[in-house]
């Protein structure tokens, strides 16, 4: 099974507090979005990769053009609205893997594992959650959270959705992967997150060149 990937790179990134667009924020010498796109392209279970941009990220869009990456430009009406718009405009009406552009430790191997889990879960939606205490223990921010089976988790932003069914409204029943693996643990929301994540990547000697 191979599915398309949407790299979500259209948010304002207000919490970073810098003039640079968050997807272009340097992480170990390379823009955040580059780490994610390169990881997605290396995954064996990925069919194609799109970067989802918006009026919030014009410079990110320019970089995508320079790199020759496929772009889906949305109207910046919020994450879920942009996701609906991107899947609809690209005709992605079955399984779609979403990955945020601020997840620099993610790898193709990890994304393949997510798709493999989805293949056997028997559901049309899959979310990857991180235990809140794992991020807090490292001093990382906890911003977006969601509840799964009565427990609150930090949202990684890595999900598999059904492009046709997300066009509707309401909460969708989903399966989940609960993990503290570094690939999704190091979500960058603040400059402190960036600093901590760079140190972890360096100390673990897991830098991908």
What local confidence, expressed as pLDDT, does residue 143 receive? 85
Contact 134, 185 (CB under 8 A): yes
Is residue 7 within 8 A of residue 37, CB to CB? The reply is yes
What pLDDT shows up at residue 17? 65
Alpha-carbon radius of gyration of the chain: 16
Helix, strand or coil, per DSSP, at residue 29: coil
pLDDT of 84? 93
According to CATH, the topology of domain 3-203 is: Spore Coat Polysaccharide Biosynthesis Protein SpsA; Chain A (3.90.550)
Mean pLDDT, 10 residues at a time, over the chain (209 residues)?
A: 95 70 94 97 98 95 96 93 94 95 96 97 94 96 92 97 85 89 94 94 66
- pLDDT for the residue 108: 97
For residue 97, the model assigns a pLDDT of: 98
Model pTM score: 0.93
Report the residue count for the chain.
209
Paired tokens of 12: 């304002």
Tokens (6 digits) for 158: 């890595």
Ranges of each domain in the chain: 3-203
């Amino acid at each position: 099974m191979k599915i398309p990937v949407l790299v979500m790179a259209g948010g304002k990134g207000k919490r970073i507090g810098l003039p640079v667009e968050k997807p272009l924020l340097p992480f170990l010498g390379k823009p955040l979005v580059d780490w994610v796109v390169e990881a997605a392209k290396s995954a064996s279970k990925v069919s194609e990769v799109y970067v989802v941009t918006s009026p919030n990220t014009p410079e990110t869009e320019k970089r995508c053009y320079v790199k020759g990456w496929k772009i889906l430009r949305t109207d910046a009406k919020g994450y879920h609205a942009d996701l609906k718009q991107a899947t609809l405009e690209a005709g992605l009406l079955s399984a779609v893997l979403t990955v945020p552009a601020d997840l620099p430790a993610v790898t193709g191997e990890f994304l393949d594992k997510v798709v493999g889990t989805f293949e056997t879960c028997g559901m049309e939606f899959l979310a990857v959650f991180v235990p809140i205490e794992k991020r807090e223990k490292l001093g990382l921010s906890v911003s977006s959270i969601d509840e799964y089976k009565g427990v609150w988790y930090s949202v990684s932003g890595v999900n598999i959705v059904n492009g046709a069914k997300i066009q509707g409204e309401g909460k969708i029943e989903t399966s989940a992967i609960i993990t503290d693996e570094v690939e999704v643990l190091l979500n960058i929301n603040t400059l402190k997150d960036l600093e901590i994540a760079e140190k972890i990547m360096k100390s673990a000697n897991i830098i991908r060149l």
